[in-house]
Amino acid sequence: MLVRLWRESGREVELRNPAVNGYTTDDLIREELPLITAFRPTFATVLIGANDLVAAVRGPDASRDAEQRYARQLVRIFDALAGVDVVALPQPDWSLAPMGGDFGDRAAVAGEIARHNAVMRQVAERAGSRYVDLFPLMRGQAGRGMFAADGLHPSAEAYGEWAKELAARI
Q: What is the pLDDT of residues 33-79, one digit of tens each?
A: 998 878 889 999 999 999 888 877 666 555 668 889 999 999 999 99
Question: What per-residue confidence (pLDDT) applies to 117?
Answer: 97
In terms of average pLDDT, the best of 12-21, 23-32, 118-127 is 118-127
pLDDT per residue over 80-108, tens digit each? Answer: 999 999 999 999 999 999 999 998 899 98
pLDDT at residue 61 in the model: 56
Confidence label for 125 from pLDDT (cuts 50, 70 and 90): very high
pLDDT at 6 over 80: no
| pLDDT at position 37 | 76
Q: Provide mean pLDDT across the span 150-154.
A: 95
pLDDT in tens, 107-119: 989 999 999 999 9
Which of 110, 132, 111 shows the shortest CA–CA distance to 120? 132
3-state secondary structure the chain: CHHHHHHHCCCCCCCCCCCCCCCCHHHHHHHHHHHHHHHCCCEEEECCCHHHHHHHHHCCCCHHHHHHHHHHHHHHHHHHCCCCEEEECCCCCHHHCCCHHHHCCHHHHHHHHHHHHHHHHHHHHHCCCEECCCHHHHHHHHHCCCECCCCCCECHHHHHHHHHHHHHHC
Q: pTM of the predicted model, to two decimals?
A: 0.90
Domains and CATH numbers, the chain: 2-165 (3.40.50.1110)
